[in-house]
Amino acid sequence: MVYIDADNNLEPFGLMNLAWPESVGSSEEVNFVVLLDTYSGGTSLLYVNQGASEVLEDWGEANMADPATMAKFIKAAKKACPAENYAFVSWDHGGGWRGLNWDDSSLDASGRVEYTNMKELRQALEDGGLVFDVFAFDQCLMAQPEVAYQLAGYADYVVFSEETIYGQGFPYGSIAGDLVADPDMSAAELSAVIVRDFGDYYSSITWANDWTISAFDMVYMGELSGAIADLASESLAVLGEYKNELKNDRANAQTYYYPYFVDLKGYVMNVIADENIEDPALKAAAQSVDDAIDSGIMATYNSKHNGDSYGLSIYFPSYRSSYLGLKPAYTDVPFATETGWLDFLQAFASNK
């Protein structure tokens, strides 16, 4: 299943990304079903054949930001092509926990373009009623625990990027070809194939020097979120003593398009190695996060520019103004409130 929200400035890339799997087409064992919404036209449910796609249903002008639309697509695709295994690709702009699926033809009461927030993403999956073997985000900046947390119970593996993704997106022709050639591959193998094909594709493009891709085994989501909760708690306990050290450790970790998205493993590795931090509980909490990431991240592929990327970023603004500007939105992110990471960030921003 590929959910292409190209009802915005990404329309040319959406059409291109549809053409790539059409070069392969569905097979007796692998079916590709697409919901395509364009800026210049409406929304169509498509079955991908080799050479062209067949229109299964005309959905008029659907709001791709509405979780009900995603849920409807999941049910429609399952009905059209019942299967033993399911994979889902969410395609559009992405902003990490800040949201995804901006639909320029759908405006809210204030006249702003609608998008899907984290709670709505979860709602779409709950209403869709399907557990995916693989859930992939062909969207910028989505490789975050804040995002993966919302997929718990609805995806076995998640594939996503810490950094922005170029307009060309995933190399769907290669991925589709690999899957059709080996339809018995496991979910873990498919996740690794997406990572490999993505990295191989962008490695071959001379101007593409700023990209990441990773795959996460969701069986470790509980361990990771628990470890981050402990890290938040222990960091709060010693913030008055080690604020400058934590700030420096954060500054020395890899950041991304939004500089307040910080590579999580890079940060905790810095905390662990920081000789100026002598609190054993904080060091142990950081080590637990590091261990959970090592267990959960089962494939990565990065450009040289992003060599210090380990698969997951987290929201960690360095300036009080950055935190205050996004606090109302972050307060509505379940991971932030349920792990205590929001409490740590608030104290970090307030502590002088």
| pLDDT tens string 180-204 | 999 999 999 999 999 999 999 999 9
pLDDT of 114: 96
* pLDDT classification of 324: cutoffs 50, 70, 90: confident
Burial class of residue 344 in the structure, from the number of CB atoms within 10 Å of its CB (0-12 exposed, 13-18 middle, 19+ buried): buried
218's enclosing H/E stretch is none
What's the predicted TM-score (pTM) here?
0.97
Six token digits for residue 341: 């990471």
Task: Read off the pLDDT of each residue in 221-229 and give the average, rounded to a whole number.
Answer: 99
User: What pLDDT shows up at residue 330?
Assistant: 97
Q: 39 phi and psi, to 5 degrees? A: -75, -35
Is 352's pLDDT higher than 80? no
Q: C-alpha angle 279/297/33, rounded to 5°?
A: 145
On average, the pLDDT of the chain sits at 97
- What's the confidence (pLDDT) of residue 342? 97
**In the predicted structure, residue 65 carries a pLDDT above the cut 70:** yes
Percent of the chain with pLDDT over 90: 95
SS3 118: helix
**Any alpha helices (H) in the chain, and if so which ranges?**
11-22, 67-80, 118-128, 145-148, 172-181, 187-203, 221-251, 264-273, 280-296, 320-330, 334-339, 341-350
What is the tens place of the pLDDT at every residue in 87-132?
Answer: 999 999 999 999 999 999 998 988 999 999 999 999 999 999 999 9
Are the C-beta atoms of 55 and 41 separated by less than 8 Å? no
Region 48-77 average pLDDT: 98
Mean pLDDT of 146-156: 99
- At 26-45, the pLDDT tens digits run 999 999 999 999 999 999 99
Whether residue 225 is predicted with pLDDT greater than 90 in this model: the reply is yes
Question: pLDDT class for 320, splitting at 50, 70, 90?
Answer: confident
Closest CA to 165 of 192, 191, 187, 195: 195
Q: Above 70 in pLDDT, residue 313?
A: yes
Res. 148: pLDDT tops 90: yes
3-class secondary-structure state, position 276 = coil
How many angstroms separate the Cα of 23 from the Cα of each of 5, 20, 67, 244?
21, 5, 30, 54
